[in-house]
Structure 1
Amino acid sequence: MPFNSFYQRVNLAYKSLSSIVAVPSIPIRLYSKSYRYSTMASLMTPQAAPSWDFSPHSLLRKTHELIRDSKLFYDSLVQIKEPTVQNLVKPYVHHENHLGRLESQLTFLQHVSSNKDLREASVKSAELLQKFTIEQSLRNDLFLQFDKVWKYMEFKEKDYDFELYKYVEKIYKDYTRNGLQLTQEKREKVKALRMKLASNMLEFSRNLSEQKEAIYFTKVELDGVSDSVLDQFEKITENDVTRFKVTFKYPDILPVLKTAKNAATRKLAYIGDQDKVPENEKFLINTLKIRNELAQTLGYSTYADYSLDIKMAKNKGIALQFLGELKDQLRTLGLKELQALKKIKEKECASLGTPYDGHYYIWDHRYYDNKLLRDSYNVDLEKISEYYPLEPTIKGMLGIYETLLKLKFVEEVDPNKKSVWHDDVKQLAVWDAEKCEFVGWMYFDLHPRDGKYGHAACFTLAAPYTKEDGTKSNAVTALVCNFSKPSTKKPSLLNHDEITTFFHELGHGIHDLVGQNRVARFNGPNAVPWDFVEAPSQMLEFWTWNESELSALSSHYKTGEKIPNDLVKSLIATKHVDGALFALRQLHFALFDMAVHTNNEVENLNLLELWNKLREEVSLVENGDTMTRGYNSFGHIMDDSYSAGYYGYMWSEVFAADMYYTRFAANPLDSEAGIKYRNVVLARGGLYDMKDNLHDFLGREPSKQAFLKELGLD
């Protein structure tokens, strides 16, 4: 997922007159197609990489400077007696463009720093900045200045620069969505509600990042879990009994759920993972109440109506119809898949001499899904991962993007370590291979550690834009993942899911980098409607299911040999195995999200009952004798962009499948199609209507046909 910039969190401009601290540029060389350093002449990056050399004190000092200087700037704008595009809009644009970079740095460190004090300072910085931004976004005097400009611009689009016209239109829309057209009393109410929402979101996110919960099992209880996985667990011995510490980080918990033979072990692991961070429930409940009150104050019947007003679906009726039809279409196929899994469970119970009760529980699913792959498709996911050591596999993935999109990636090492926030982090300079132009900076932070963001995401650290002198300020983006660390016995190995995840997040990073608009807020994934934002990355996942690409990426960690063809073919044959059940699981999240955001009586909502009832009804697997609180770690629902928007994951897959099958299926490495995709879908960002961009790329209106075919519903 792309992590939201400040634009999405509070929907209005912010920033300060502080400049970014940067390290000097140093010479670099480009990777050749063999992914080694080439003999091309050294190139100098025109834009230095950001420095991450912050202390808690310096970070907060920068935050206060940013707020102080930004307030002075906004105060100066309201003094303009006759506001125009020239004296109001252009300075505002440059202010927003230039100074978002530091804000992103200051607030990003809460997710990745290994220093708890620095993480806390970053959280505090985010709190201060959000409070300030909300205050400025509700300044009536600033709104009146833009109101004057918009009144004489609104019906004269052809008389103005298109990008500036769309910018003022967007700013004005943000103001009205913030209630600036309302009475002062209601504006103050909106302000208070937004302040509380921002605080809740920060606390919810911090609790997830800081959680260190774990569950302990003996080796007997972990029967079926491979020795290589057991080696990565911390061991605790008490009273001569050794237990393995299984955290709820992905590299720990998923192998247990997939391979532990003991159903009681899987059940405990599942419940523990689902019920972590119980302290988040109060923040979610309070957030739902506030969102409902906010929407009604702003004139919307529900929060879903407010949220979807700026998405492609436009209203909750269309989104709910899409989800409902998909649920009904998938049910028959899902039940068929479920019956096949039940037979596998029944067969295993018979072989073990244990009774089979005819039930299939939620903690059974990953295990029997994995067993189906092994037994029926001869797919050993752990064996396959031996052919995908992290370093060469990532170089190979970058090579695909180089070929397809005509980019070059270069790892750059700063001996002073000021250009990275942790020793694990890799820093890459990205270039346009055809124009020999610098595109921007990309960071890879790929291994778990205490206090780090626990999932996989792409963080926009700076969108590209054109500076006042006409030169370009380049993008900065970071891919944050949690792949297993290398051990003394072997390097970090990627399973196929992780390969797909990385390719997906890398797609968001490329979207960040290649924007060509002059205004930062129109570039990158954060600029497009949030029910399209996943489509570019979802489309790129198709490459990780192609035989030629999987073979090219492979290199056995011991021998360097390519993966055998039979292994690749058996893996590809599993692409749609239990696909309906997976899609139904996604629909459970989406329908829960819509249910809580279309209910005007939030105080009467029983989240525990709703979550579990919907899961059993939609995803078709049984809860058994337990009810869990997975919503406490459902981070998307607390995010302003994904709330009442999780349907977008499925909605955007319609466009992803259509783009791939129309332009790339016949030749996945067609650089001509790749360049068109880069220029039309990615580089245009959010400046133009996304439906127009899709029409230009596809040569027709989008179609559901490829999407339904992927789901087995054509």
Structure 2
Amino acid sequence: MATNRLRSGVTHLVESVSPQQATFENAIRPLAEIDNEVKSSVQYMALFQAVSPSPELRKASSAAISIIDKAYLALFQHEGLFALVGAAHGNYSRSRDDIIDEEDSRLLDRFHRMFVDNGIELAGSARERYIWISRRLIDLRVAFMENLSNDPGYVWKAENELEGVPLDTLELDKDYLSAVFRISLAKPSVNSILVNCHNADTRAEIFLKSQTLYQEKNVPIFREIINLRDEAARLLGFPSYATQKLRQQLVKSPDRVRSLLDQLDRALQPMAQQELQVLHKVLMKPPRLSDFDFQHNQILKEKYHVDQELVAEYFPAQVTMRRMLNIFETLFALAIIELDNLTEICKWHPDVTAYEVWEANKSVFVGYLYIDIYPRPGKYNHAANFNIYPSYVGRDGKRTSVASALVCNVSRNSDDQPPLLRHREVITIFHELGHGIHDLLGKSKYAMFHGHRNVSDFSEAPSQLLEYWCWVPECLKRLSCHYSYLSPKYLQHWKTAKASKDALQPPMEIPDEIVHNLVAAKQLNQGILTLRQVAFSKFDMEIHNPASHNEIEAIDFSKLYNLLLQDMTGLQGPQDGLNWGSGHATSSHYIWGQEANYYSYLFTRILAADMWYTHFQSAPLNQDAGLKYRKMILNYGGSQDEWKLLTSFLGRDPTIQAYLKDIGAITLENKGEENTFERFGNNVP
């Protein structure tokens, strides 16, 4: 139905306007209205692929997405429509302020670029090949994502092989005859074992299994996608896919990405080497990737007196989620109200909670926020925010309301204990809620630029900024409530766990000492952890920016991924050599979302750190600062030049100094490197 409306709308537009008559008002704005309505009609379909309990519905969602994506692709390969867009684009000079505003100008440029990037200017066999590649890439992406939604499998382990692991954090079944546990390889269970298990062999096996998930199906799909992307970019005249994509982002070229990554590498290696020496001394052998999370947790316990399981007792999921929303209410002058009586037909699973979001004075309705944070079979295995319904100004001149969904996978516990959030899960949820808030507060005219639809190397910055609140003592105390206070049943569970009916109930609010220790440990192993992100980013650039097409065909992606991960972090794989897994094929990052853009996770952290230290560090819950940020950054979505918005908010160009200080990489010894951050943005040649 949506595809029929799309085709009929395009046909009417092409038949009613000639290229000689094409203007913004009669050609570009009607095309934007078609785009608005398509996005508002179909975006929820992608959500079902990620969250539906029904395999049939997930499969139908994938099929629908493929049909719609191909129809949308055909829209930007339509020669008659390009004649209108090209004519309108050519009719406006670079100075368009007296004719159309900045958002209109960005829309016009975006539409024109989308046609060019979809091969409209190619001819003959090159055009035919490009169109085939475009459609093939959609099919491959859908297949790759479908595989990620499949059951990841399981392993069997005896209880002694799981020493140290809180069994109620695992998705498991017990075979009582043989006294072994069937453990799911879903992300929460894998994380719990890697963090807590004392048995090095178990950790190594689980890590290896996590790196080989979906290997048989997704590794060949991954290779074909990368090869076809490179071929398509070269057909368009670009030397690589990364060159094509980066020209429209803040960091304009692969060379600049490489410069950024090399700069971080230099700044972080001395720090990481010190961290590796500590790990080596503790383990009495070179540390492996499968050892890192466990040893990191052990150092937290022994040196910083941070017990993550004890910390989690103060963050019962439902209470902490509500209090997170309260912080957003305070910062951004909102009222977020749970819909208690929402019928099951309005939710995709009973675990889902839904909220209405209003301006604080209830004068304006903003939209709906859905929260779905617990794992289940077939559900998207990572954390993300999904826009269900975008905001834009409709044909009637009225703004549509937003619907946004937070989708995570946090640890569940036994029925006698509520789901508890580890601190890293608190950070993850706060981050993804940041995307949701960006979604809800965006006020662009066009769905194309709504909410977090910024250029790809800016869109993570607002969410990464919000992670800082998870390290503020005042906020941690606000978010906390020891689970034993939630009900008599939970109090009894806590006493049973302590093996004492007379145990003194802990304080309701997380104690200052625990908060102090947690915050003091923030920089622990940040050299290694950040270099792991550098490794993933370098892999992304290597595969998307080869010197020649022959080079990309010759690369062994698994070996390259593993080599970079080992070399950058100094941590060895779970077994000798490089044939120990294909981690690149176990997540969607390089296929749908961060392709030729993984560096942005680091680049936007630099931007987020600068915004935090400039505007929020001294008074994190100051509403004036929150409203200034909302007005100057969040409201615009992607409708304005992001670099201009950022420099206006900061009052200057951003620097790397705040980020390096935040992770502990600036010391008296390397203070001279503070201001070496290369400037980026549209104003930099």
Is the shorter-chain TM-score for this pair beyond 0.5, marking a shared fold? yes
Partner of 1:510: 437
SS of residue paired to 1:418: helix
- What is the deviation of 1:191? 1.3
Partner of 2:68: 129
Deviations for 1:544-596, whole angstroms, at most 9, x for unmatched residues?
00111101111000036011111111111110000111001111111111111
Match of 2:250 among 283, 296, 312: 312
- What is the deviation of 1:658? 0.2
Partner of 2:273: 335
- What is the deviation of 1:184? 4.3
The amino acid across from 2:138 in the alignment is A
Distance in 1 (alpha carbons) for counterparts of 2:362 and 2:318: 28
**Gap runs ≥5 in structure 1:** 1-64, 347-357
Distance in 2 (alpha carbons) for counterparts of 1:255 and 1:646: 26
Match of 2:161 among 211, 218, 221: 221
SS of residue paired to 1:638: coil
Match of 2:534 among 562, 567, 587: 587
- What is the deviation of 1:414? 4.6
Deviations for 1:638-679, whole angstroms, at most 9, x for unmatched residues?
12x411110000011110000000000000011111001111
Matches within 5 A, 1:522-671: 522-526=449-453, 528-559=454-485, 561-599=508-546, 600=548, 601-623=551-573, 624-625=575-576, 627-639=580-592, 641-671=593-623
**Gap runs ≥5 in structure 2:** 487-507, 667-685
The amino acid across from 1:334 in the alignment is A
Partner of 1:437: 364
Q: Which moved more, 1:171-180 or 1:491-500?
A: 171-180
Matches within 5 A, 1:15-54: none
Distance in 2 (alpha carbons) for counterparts of 1:649 and 1:141: 39
Distance in 1 (alpha carbons) for counterparts of 2:38 and 2:66: 18
Deviations for 1:241-283, whole angstroms, at most 9, x for unmatched residues?
1222222222211111111111111111110111110110000
The amino acid across from 2:238 in the alignment is Y
Distance in 2 (alpha carbons) for counterparts of 1:256 and 1:321: 37
Gap change, CA 1:496 and 1:154, over 3 Å in 2: same
- What is the deviation of 1:76? 1.1
Distance in 2 (alpha carbons) for counterparts of 1:416 and 1:478: 17
Distance in 2 (alpha carbons) for counterparts of 1:169 and 1:225: 54
Matches within 5 A, 1:273-312: 273-278=210-215, 279-312=217-250
Match of 1:378 among 289, 305, 317: 305
- What is the deviation of 1:314? 0.7
Match of 1:105 among 44, 49, 54: 44
- Is structure 2 residue 2 aligned with structure 1 residue 66? yes
Match of 1:83 among 18, 22, 26: 22
Distance in 1 (alpha carbons) for counterparts of 2:388 and 2:445: 17
Distance in 2 (alpha carbons) for counterparts of 1:383 and 1:577: 19
- Indicate if the aligned counterparts of 1:337 and 1:581 stay in contact, CA closer than 8 A: yes
Matches within 5 A, 1:214-293: 214-229=154-169, 232-237=171-176, 240-278=177-215, 279-293=217-231
- What is the deviation of 1:713? 2.2
The amino acid across from 1:631 in the alignment is H
The amino acid across from 2:144 in the alignment is F
- Is structure 2 residue 389 aligned with structure 1 residue 450? no
Deviations for 1:104-160, whole angstroms, at most 9, x for unmatched residues?
112221111111111111011011111211122111111001111122123450232
- Is structure 2 residue 78 aligned with structure 1 residue 139? yes
Q: Which moved more, 1:489-498 or 1:85-94?
A: 85-94
Distance in 2 (alpha carbons) for counterparts of 1:455 and 1:545: 22
Partner of 2:655: 703
- Indicate if the aligned counterparts of 2:6 and 2:38 stay in contact, CA closer than 8 A: no
Partner of 1:34: none
- Is structure 2 residue 619 aligned with structure 1 residue 693? no
**TM-score, scaled relative to structure 2:** 0.90
Aligned-residue sequence identity (percent) comes to 32
- Indicate if the aligned counterparts of 2:211 and 2:582 stay in contact, CA closer than 8 A: yes
SS of residue paired to 2:376: coil
- Indicate if the aligned counterparts of 1:105 and 1:461 stay in contact, CA closer than 8 A: yes
Deviations for 1:312-333, whole angstroms, at most 9, x for unmatched residues?
1110000011101211221111
- Is structure 2 residue 137 aligned with structure 1 residue 197? yes
What is the root-mean-square deviation of aligned Cα atoms in Å?
A: 1.5
Match of 1:678 among 626, 630, 650: 630
Distance in 2 (alpha carbons) for counterparts of 1:224 and 1:242: 17
Distance in 1 (alpha carbons) for counterparts of 2:71 and 2:396: 29
Distance in 2 (alpha carbons) for counterparts of 1:288 and 1:330: 30
SS of residue paired to 1:478: strand
- What is the deviation of 1:454? 0.5
- Indicate if the aligned counterparts of 2:289 and 2:571 stay in contact, CA closer than 8 A: yes
Partner of 1:96: 35
- What is the deviation of 1:229? 3.0
Distance in 1 (alpha carbons) for counterparts of 2:607 and 2:648: 13
SS of residue paired to 1:473: coil
- Indicate if the aligned counterparts of 2:153 and 2:185 stay in contact, CA closer than 8 A: yes
- What is the deviation of 1:416? 3.1
- What is the deviation of 1:206? 0.8
Distance in 2 (alpha carbons) for counterparts of 1:309 and 1:711: 30
Distance in 1 (alpha carbons) for counterparts of 2:24 and 2:272: 56
Distance in 2 (alpha carbons) for counterparts of 1:272 and 1:621: 18
SS of residue paired to 1:509: helix
The amino acid across from 2:513 in the alignment is D
